[in-house]
Structures are given as C-alpha cells and as structure tokens.
Structure 1
C-alpha cells in the first residue's frame, strides 16, 4: 500500500492511498473461503461447492465486503503510521475509474486534533460564594408544608371560601352524563382553583344534606375534545362541610409526616435549602474556572468540530424560536447574531479539548460502574419494554456511549480543577450570588448575545456558553479515533430539545388526560 501526503496545513491533512489489486484479491479469496462452508447448491454436498461457483453466485457482495474491509484497514494504517488524531471521521473517496482487478485509488482528507501543551494548574483562584440558610427560611419551609397538610374539622352552617365540601357530583352535557364527570364523596376546597372556573365558587352557601345544580363552561383549551368550550351542569349533593383547622407545628406534626421530631424535619429542610444554593455556588465557581481556562489558552480548533457543535446550538435556537409568541421575529433575531453563536461553539470546542487534555494528563476517567449507572438512568426515559433494547443500542454504538459519558467526564475534570485551585469562601445572600452569576455572563465577551434578551432561545444559548457538556474532544482524544456524536437530547437552561437518536427506541408516551371536572 502506498500513502502520499498531499496537504499539511494547520490542522488539515490530505493523502492519496493506493491499495494494490492483489491485496483486494487476497481479501476476496479469504471471504470466499470463509463463506463457502455455509453455501448450499443443488448437486453439491454442504460445504463442497467449488470456489468459482461461490464467487459466481455471491461475487458482487463478496467484492464489496472485501473492498470495505481493505479500506478500513488502510485507514487504520494511515492513522497509525502518521500518528494522526482525527477530530472527526475522515472523508474518504474512491476513484471513479475503479473496477475489480485494478488498484484502488483513495483520496483522504481530515482534520486532526491540535497538540495542546499540558496546561499548568498553578495560579487558579476561585471564590466560593456560600449562602447561609437563615432560621427564618427553615421556619417558612415548615409553614409551607403545614399549609400543604391542611386539616379540616366538621362545622355547622353554610360553606364559605376556604372550607372543604365533601360531596357527590354528576356532570351532564345536554342532559346526558359524560365520561369522567362523576365522583362520590369528593373533597373540594373552595378557592383552591383545582377545578374548572366557576365550579368551586358555586359551592359557597351549600349546607350538609343540601342538593344543588350548578352550571359551568369548560375552557376552550380543555383536553377532552367533546367538552371544549361547552356549557354543562353538575348535580351536587353535599355530605359534609368542614372548616380549616389550625395546624400545630410540633413533634406530633412531624410524626404525622413519618419523622421522629420537629427538629429532624427542620434539619431535613435546612439540608434541602443548602443543597439548592450549593448548585448555584458550583455554577459560579465553574463559570469562573472556565473563563480562566479560556482566557489563558488560544489555540486553533478543528473547523468540522466547531460546525458540528454549532449545528447542535443552532438546532436548539431555532426550535425555541419557533415556539415564541412571534416566531418570525425570534428567528430573525438569532439570525442577526449567527456569528456570535458560532463563536460560542468555538469556545465550547476549545474548552472541551482543554478539559480532555487536563483529564487525561491527570488520570481522570469514568469508571465502568459509573457508565453502567448512566446507561441505566438514561434508559428510564423509555417505555419499560424498550429499555433493554436501548441499553444494547448504547453498548453497540460508541458514539452514543460517548454522549452519555461526556457530561459526567466534564464534571469530574471540573471537580478535579476546583480541588487544585486556591479557593476563598465568602458568605453572601442568594441575591448577591445570583447577581454574581449574571455579572459573569455579561462579562463573557463571547456570549454577549445571550443575557437579557427577549427570545427564550437566547437564554438557552447563554446557558450553553457556561458549560462544555458533551465535550466534543473527550472521546476522540481518549481513543485517538474519530467520533461524532449523533443528535440527542440536548440540555440547555431548564429546557430540553428532543432530537432523533438514530434507531433508538421510542420514548414512553405521556399518559392520556382523563376528562373530568378537574381542569388540565
């Protein structure tokens, strides 16, 4: 096999590869010997069909398989002999004049990963902005739970706003009962807003043992098609009227929740509040860390990786824009700043390569057990009958596995860097912490298009600039093999965009909403 380099400019490489005809012929003969024992033909005993007849019957398929195998082996040799680290799958084309019995002339073009000097981890300084949990916040959280656990006591007299009415009701459309519109001894809290507009208000004044007919109109956006915008009646029969009882926040209240004491409940709530702000604290530290890395490293990145990353960002943006109140204006807005989003993609790729280099240089890795947990968690998004098929799909598709692994890999590298950094802890308010995060976003010159814009898509893009999740280089650098992740569920801000994963099982469908007096 002859390999001639034709281009070596920056990260671009190109080669011509000549595969001798005899190499392909030998591969064909090997394929014939491999399949001959399985070939059946009238007049011949199993496995005794002559090689020339096997080739006559299956020649085209055998030649194609042999040629494909030979090309794959040639690409492996090209990569190994030239110590290449492809950024993406090489572009390989076979000369138009090729036919069986002739040398195969290949044209190969690709981009390689840049050589990145191991970054120095000295001098990293981070502020850890911690929000202490005030006792008043804990008390408010306890009070909210007490409000949700509202108890009611039977009362005499008519129902008032805030009272609970225990009643039977039967809904009728044009005098005929409709499905989902009937209940017995249903507790309804007047003013809770859980039922369709006008229902609860018409229960005011109702007494135990009293019957009443009310008229309501279903909303135009009600899920049940046959009830949208329709005026219906409900026959009401009240069994009992209850007034809200004042909740005693004490150990007995905590025991009703399955805990040992009120102090235990407060400790649990205090931990939850601390966990909520801990997420914001880490976001601020991570953004500051990535900004420091980005400011200290400016190397060329493979254009194909940038384009692939930009395509994911652009898909997210256009999806969000199409769901805005004014889709045309939102699409125009993101189109006007397309170059800014391309810079965001370039920043993400550069940071991804940098984090990958740091991770590999310092032995950061995702264990087999962690990977197994990731796959199991991802499988929960699918219907039970499809989960095993999804797990097999991931096991057989390195690109999909890389997608699942990348966010965790990134987080582990970030945690490693935070441990190495000089960290100064400061107590701040939640408002000050949020302001610090937003100020960092505003100061990021490559994400100027993101903050304080009207379009939701832009807010999503702003969030994407803070993270290098699915770090594009992680797998390529690790294996020195080109990988390109297929489209997937891309997380940005608190929203998700569902994109097709090739041949992955369909995700479980949401449960159908049942028509009833309850709205939505």
Structure 2
C-alpha cells in the first residue's frame, strides 16, 4: 500500500491511500485458499474445490472483506506511524468512478481512496501544586439532627378518623375526591379519588389545602386554586382551576414518641443507631455540596490554565447535544428566548462558549488521567450500573441488559467515575485549604450566580441564569465531556 499525506492543517489530516491490484489479488487468493477446507460444494470432495470456482462463487463477498480489513489496517498504520490521537473515527472517501471500484473488486486495478482524520491537540500538563482551592466544611449542629428526627416522625404519623361533624384543622389529613376544570373544561390529570391531603404540608398547589380547613366529612365544596407560573405542565402553568371536591373523611394525627421502638420501624437497633445513621446521611448531603463547589473551583482553575485548538467535530457534537436539551427544555416549559431575556443568536453564542469549555476540560482531564494511569475497574462500573438500575424499579434487568449490550451507553457510566478519580488525583497535589462555613454560606451561590448544586458543571448563559433565578428553578447542569476522549 502507498500512503501520502495531502493535508496537515491545524487538527486536520488527510491522506491518499493506494492499494495496488497485486496486493488485492494476493489477499483475495490467500483468503480463497483458506476457504478450501471449510466450504462444502456439491460435486467436489472436501478440500478439492478449485480456487477458480471459489472465486466465481464467493469472490465479491470475500473481496469486500479483504478491502474492509485493508482499510482498517491502513488506518491503524497511519495513526501509529504518525503518532496521532484521534478525536473521532477516520472518514473514508472512496472514488466516485464506479469502473475504478469494480476493477478493484476484481483485483484488476488499483484502488485509490482518501482518509480524513481529526486529531486531538497536543499540550503539556501544568503543575498542579500551583492550583489553590478552598474546601468548605460545615459541621451539622445537633439542632438540625433533632429537626430531621421530628420530620421523620411527622412523615410516619398514623391518622385516625376524628368523628362525625369534626372540622378539619391545620395538621389534619383530609381524604377527598376531586375533579378539576379550567374555564369549565376538565383537564387531564385533574381528577383524583380517595386522595389524602395533609393540611399544611404544601403538597398541593398553593391555596388548595387552606380551603379544606373547617371542612367536615360528607361536605361538598368548590376549591379555587392557581397553578404556579413555573408549573411543570405548560398548559396549566399560571392558570386558575376549579376543583369540585367531596370530603370523605377528616383524620387527626396520632402522637409519635421518638424512642427505641420508633427507631426499630426503620430497621435500627435503637434510637442511638437511628440518630447516627440520620446524622451520617445529613453530613453526606452537605459533603456532596462541598465537593461540587470544590470541583467547580478546580475546573475553573484548569480552564484558565489551558489554551489550545479544539477539534471541530467534538465542538459540533457537544454543542448539538447541549442545544437539543435547550430546545427540549424550552418546549416543555413553553418559554421563548425573549422570556429568558435573550435572543436565539445570543443564546447560541453563550452555549458555544459552554461547549468549548466542556470539550477543553474533557480533553485536559483525559490527558491527566492517562498520564497518571487512572483506571476505572469493572467492579466500579458494575456498582454504578446497579445504582442506575435501581432508579427504575421493576425494570432493573432491562436497564442492566441495555447498558451491558451497548458499549457507548456503558461508556456514559464509566466517564463520571473516571472524571471523579482524576479530580481526586489532582487534589492530592493541589493546594487545598479547608474553611469552616455556615449552612447559608455553603448553600449560597457563587459570585457569578452559579448555584452550588451545579458546582462541577457549566450553567445556562448569564441572562437565562437571571431569569431562572427569578422563577426559583434549578438550572440544568453540564459536565466535562471526558468520555469523548478517554
């Protein structure tokens, strides 16, 4: 084979490859000879089928395999000889001249084709010791543990009927049937039967629960309530609904004693064990927030350390993924770019920057991980896959099989594990300072308005962030694309 480089521009490489007819003929003949002892053809004894006859019967299909194998071998050789790391799979362009292709298929002519490659940029890994980040530490006070115990007790209260004529009060449970309508027309999902409503729990749309105060069993009433402006169903958001309601029962909560017997309801030996488990769970949540904020700082610092050309295909791929999600979110919410105080053009420009950051950080983390020989074990992947499957009760086996049979989907499980291990590797060398903070400080937004819940990720563009903040909604998170280059 003959390989000639025809383009070396930035991260793009192009080569012209010529596969001589004599090489094609030699490969084809060798493959056909190897088939003699394997095929069974009527009229011929095993191993005695003439190669010429095999060529007439199987020649084209075997040559197709020969060409595919030669193309794969050539691609590997180009990558190895040039010392390249590919951003995506090579793009092969065969000649448009059908006569040339037909001649190659018969091994009667050379086959010339082009290979287009997009390579990953080369850059040096900076010294981590110069990275300075702060880990915020919040010590959970005893009062918060007590509040958590009280909430647990409230959530597990038993309720008993108050009796005939008893009026519902705040804290009571009212069992109701209702049918909701807007402008006289019933809406989907607006009806319920034997629905328990805990007055004061804020489990229903604003105003619904309060209008049940004073209700008695058997009473029929009309409840008027308005769906929040940011309600999940766009067709209901901000609209006033009328609920024809029948009160079927009024129940009062029983007293709950927080003791060893109460703890045993949750599989604990005693109250002390329940407090320990609850305290660890609360601390774990705050530690996760601290970790996200720490990771945000680290990624921001890394992003500022590196400047290099980004593979256009990875940029396009990443931006397209982000933009599809943006369009889906806007369609579901019923909002427009004007609602977000921006334009489509401005939003695209902002999301291009986000895509660039994600690709850059993904490449940096992948390179750091490779240099540090960071490995993700099969056990770690299996553990994460089990957790993913648990998110779909009743469908665990289907989820498990899906990921196991789809390498690309499984890579999406592996990538976050790899990323976290690389972050840990960097933190071992970086200058990490611990700082005691209050709960409010830990949960506060950073100075750019990015909430700590998205600390390890990119947020919406600035104008969209402001709009989301007003609505009280949580912005979507974006993470570096380490799986694109691992």
Residue number in structure 2 paired with 1:313 = 322
Moved more, 352-361 or 330-339: 330-339
Which of 354, 359, 370 is the matching residue for 1:360? 370
2:393 is the counterpart of 1:386 = no
1:262-317, CA deviations, whole angstroms, 9 ceiling, x for partnerless residues? Answer: 33333322222211111111111111111111112112222222222112111211
C-alpha separation in 1, matches of 2:152 and 2:117: 60
2:102 is the counterpart of 1:102 = no
Moved more, 42-51 or 82-91: 42-51
Q: 1:372 to 1:188 in 2, by over 3 A?
A: closer
Q: How does 1:165-204 map to 2 (within 5 A)?
A: 204=215
Shift of 1:403: 2.8
C-alpha separation in 2, matches of 1:454 and 1:326: 11
3-state DSSP of counterpart to 1:452: helix
Q: Is the CA contact 1:129–1:427 (under 8 Å) kept in the aligned structure 2?
A: yes
Q: 1:14 to 1:284 in 2, by over 3 A?
A: same
3-state DSSP of counterpart to 1:463: coil
Which of 253, 258, 271 is the matching residue for 1:249? 258
1:449-481, CA deviations, whole angstroms, 9 ceiling, x for partnerless residues? Answer: 246243699x887631xx31544222xxxxxxx
Q: 1:258 to 1:203 in 2, by over 3 A?
A: farther
1:170-196, CA deviations, whole angstroms, 9 ceiling, x for partnerless residues? Answer: x9xxxxxxxx9998xx98878879899
Q: 1:202 to 1:43 in 2, by over 3 A?
A: farther
Higher relative contact order (CA 8 A, sep 6+): 1
Shift of 1:433: 2.3
Q: How many residues align?
A: 443
Q: 1:276 to 1:372 in 2, by over 3 A?
A: closer
Moved more, 306-315 or 155-164: 155-164
C-alpha separation in 1, matches of 2:176 and 2:350: 60
Q: Is the CA contact 2:385–2:400 (under 8 Å) kept in the aligned structure 1?
A: no
3-state DSSP of counterpart to 1:320: helix
Which of 432, 446, 466 is the matching residue for 2:441? 432
Shift of 1:439: 3.5
Shift of 1:420: 1.8
C-alpha separation in 2, matches of 1:38 and 1:265: 69
Q: Is the CA contact 1:92–1:108 (under 8 Å) kept in the aligned structure 2?
A: yes
Residue number in structure 1 paired with 2:150 = 143
Shift of 1:21: 1.2
Q: 1:473 to 1:440 in 2, by over 3 A?
A: farther
Q: 1:2 to 1:187 in 2, by over 3 A?
A: closer
Q: Is the CA contact 2:361–2:482 (under 8 Å) kept in the aligned structure 1?
A: no
Q: 1:23 to 1:453 in 2, by over 3 A?
A: farther
**TM-score when normalising by structure 1:** 0.72
Q: Is the CA contact 2:389–2:399 (under 8 Å) kept in the aligned structure 1?
A: yes
Q: Is the CA contact 2:389–2:397 (under 8 Å) kept in the aligned structure 1?
A: no
Q: Which runs of 5 or more structure 1 residues have no equivalent in the other structure? A: 172-179, 207-211, 222-228, 475-520
Q: 1:391 to 1:190 in 2, by over 3 A?
A: closer
3-state DSSP of counterpart to 2:130: coil
RMSD: 4.3
Residue number in structure 1 paired with 2:131 = 124
Moved more, 285-294 or 356-365: 356-365
Q: Which runs of 5 or more structure 2 residues have no equivalent in the other structure? A: 180-190, 228-240
2:347 is the counterpart of 1:337 = yes
Q: 1:422 to 1:440 in 2, by over 3 A?
A: farther
Q: 1:271 to 1:380 in 2, by over 3 A?
A: closer
Shift of 1:109: 1.8
Residue number in structure 1 paired with 2:477 = 463
Q: How does 1:448-459 map to 2 (within 5 A)?
A: 449-450=461-462, 452-454=465-467
Shift of 1:243: 3.7
Q: 1:380 to 1:73 in 2, by over 3 A?
A: farther
Q: Is the CA contact 2:174–2:247 (under 8 Å) kept in the aligned structure 1?
A: no
C-alpha separation in 2, matches of 1:439 and 1:448: 11
Q: 1:165 to 1:272 in 2, by over 3 A?
A: closer
Q: 1:255 to 1:231 in 2, by over 3 A?
A: closer
C-alpha separation in 1, matches of 2:372 and 2:62: 46
**TM-score when normalising by structure 2:** 0.76
Residue number in structure 1 paired with 2:291 = 282
C-alpha separation in 2, matches of 1:6 and 1:325: 50
3-state DSSP of counterpart to 1:86: coil
1:214-268, CA deviations, whole angstroms, 9 ceiling, x for partnerless residues? Answer: 6889x9x9xxxxxxx99999896x8xx8643333334443344443443333332
C-alpha separation in 2, matches of 1:330 and 1:242: 44
Residue number in structure 1 paired with 2:331 = 322
Moved more, 401-410 or 256-265: 256-265
C-alpha separation in 1, matches of 2:474 and 2:198: 39
Residue number in structure 1 paired with 2:55 = 55
3-state DSSP of counterpart to 2:297: helix
1:94-126, CA deviations, whole angstroms, 9 ceiling, x for partnerless residues? Answer: 223323221111212212122221321222211
